[in-house]
Structure 1
Amino acid sequence: MATNASSAANLWPAHAAQDKDISVLPRIFEDAINVAIMQRRLPADIQLSAAAQCQSERPWQFSWLGPADVTLIDELYRRAPQPEAATALIDDVLLISQAVAYLFDTQNVGIRLRVLNEAMCPRFHCDNLAVRLVTTYLGPGSQWLPDTAVNRDGLGAPRPGQPDIVRDPSAIQTLQAGDVALIKGSGWEGSENSALVHRSPTLTQGEKRLLLTIDPA
C-alpha cells in the first residue's frame, strides 16, 4: 500500500484513489484523480522470480514496444538475466500489460523492465506524457506528493532562486513493492498543471530495485 511518514490522522488526498481491487485503476479517467493505486502483496513465486533477475552485477534493462502477446513472452524469456527462473515474473508482466492495453483501448504498449542500483529520477517531477503505469517488484517503490505538499513553482530544471518543490516532507507517500499505480502526466488533457509529482526512491549501497513501467502506445 502507499504509506506516509506523517500521523495517521492526516487525510488521504482527494486526488488519489487506492484500493485492493483492480477496479480502482479505471478511476484514473476521473478529472479529479491524478494517481490510482491498486494495493497488492506480491505472491512468493513472483518475489523469488524477481529476485533471481536481480542477481546480475550490472544494471539490466528490457524495452518493448508492441502488443502484449506471445511475442512479448518470447522476448522476455530471451532477454531475462535468469530465464529459467523468470516464469512467474513474466506471467505477471504480461497480465499487467494486457490490462493496460484493455483499459486504454490500444493494441500496443511501451514496456520497460529495469534492474536499477541507483535512483533513476531522484528529483521530484511530472512526466511529460499522458499516463504511465509503475510497479516495483523488488526494492523500494516510487515516491509521490499530495497536491497540498507541492510547490509547483519549484518544478523544472534547477535554476537560481528556485523554490523548494516539497512544502511538507512528512507528506511524502511511498508505494510498496507490488503496488500497481497509474500516474497522470502533464500530457493528459486537463492535467497540464495538476499532473502527479513523483520521484524515484534513494537506494542504499548495494540495494537493487526491479521496476516495471508501461505506457499505452
Structure 2
Amino acid sequence: MMTTVQRRDSPDVPVTPRHAEGEDISILPRIFEDDISIAILHRRLPQEIQAGVNAQLQADRALSISWLGPPGDALRSELRRRLQDPDACGALIEDIVTLAEAMAYLFDTDSVGLRLRRLASAMCPRFHCDHLPVRLVTTYHGPGCEWLPEWAVNRQGLGAPRPDKPEIVDDPSAVRRLGTGDLALLKSSGWIGNEEHALVHRSPDLPAGHQRLLLTLDPA
C-alpha cells in the first residue's frame, strides 16, 4: 500500500508520493498506475557495458546519435556504424537495443525515438516538465537526472522565469538524483490524466572537465 507524506508548508494536507523504485524489472510497469509519475529501476552497469561507455568518453569527436524507427537489427547496425570503437561496444549496443525493444513492447508501438549523447554541460539546468507522454532515461556515465517528489514542487513557479514567480522547489533538501545506470520512466503532461502531475526534473550540474553519456527513449 502506498503511504502518504505531508508538505512542510501545509502539514495538515497529505500528499501521495508519485514515485516507485526498486531493483526488480517489475517496477517499471508501475508507470501505468494513475498515481505514479516516475518508476525507477536501480541497476549497476556490468564491466562489459562500461568498456563501451569508456570508448565513447575517450573519443576525440563529439557523440550525438538520433534514431527514429523500429528497434532491432537496423538500430543495432546504426549504433555499430556511429559509435567509437564498435568492437568494444558489443554489450553497450545490446543494452541499448534491449531497452529500445522493451519500450516498444511496453507501450505497444512499432518504433521508438532514441537519442544518445555525450554531454559536457547541463542540457536543461532549470526544473521543468516535458510535454510528451513518457520518456525512458538512463545515464551510462556521470550524474543522473535530478527530480522532485510531488510534495516538494511549487508548480506555480514552472515555465519561463519571471521576477514575480515563486521558487519551484519548496524544499531544496528534497531534490533526488538518479544513479548512474538507473533506468527511469518519466511520465509527463502529454500522458492523458497526468496533465497536473507531470514529473518535475532537470539536468544535473556538470563541473568543468566532467562528462555524461545520456540515453533517452520515447515511444513513437
Partner of 2:166: 163
- What do the CA deviations read for 1:64-109 (whole angstroms, capped 9, x no partner)? 0001110000000101122222111101001111111100011100
Pairwise CA distance, 1:58: 4.8
Q: TM-score, normalised by structure 1?
A: 0.92
The secondary structure found in structure 1 opposite 2:105 is: helix
The secondary structure found in structure 2 opposite 1:41 is: coil
Partner of 2:186: 183
Partner of 2:92: 89
Distance 2:90 2:208 in 1: 29
- Opposite residue 142 of structure 2, the aligned amino acid is G
Distance 2:172 2:155 in 1: 15
Report if the CA contact (8 A) 1:59-1:117 is conserved: no
Partner of 1:146: 149
The count of corresponding residues between Structure 1 and Structure 2 is 205
- 1:53 corresponds to 2:47: no
The secondary structure found in structure 1 opposite 2:206 is: coil
**Equivalent in 110, 115, 123 of residue 107 of structure 1:** 110
The secondary structure found in structure 1 opposite 2:159 is: coil
Q: TM-score, normalised by structure 2?
A: 0.91
Higher-Rg structure is: 2
Pairwise CA distance, 1:110: 0.2
Identical positions, percent: 60
- What do the CA deviations read for 1:158-193 (whole angstroms, capped 9, x no partner)? 123111111111000000011000000110001111
- What do the CA deviations read for 1:3-54 (whole angstroms, capped 9, x no partner)? xxxxxxxxxx721011111111110000000000011111111112112111
- 1:210 corresponds to 2:213: yes
- Opposite residue 189 of structure 1, the aligned amino acid is I
- 1:69 corresponds to 2:81: no
Aligned Cα root-mean-square deviation (Å): 1.0
Report if the CA contact (8 A) 1:53-1:86 is conserved: no
- 1:23 corresponds to 2:26: yes
Gaps of 5+ in 1: 1-12
The secondary structure found in structure 1 opposite 2:65 is: strand
- 1:78 corresponds to 2:91: no
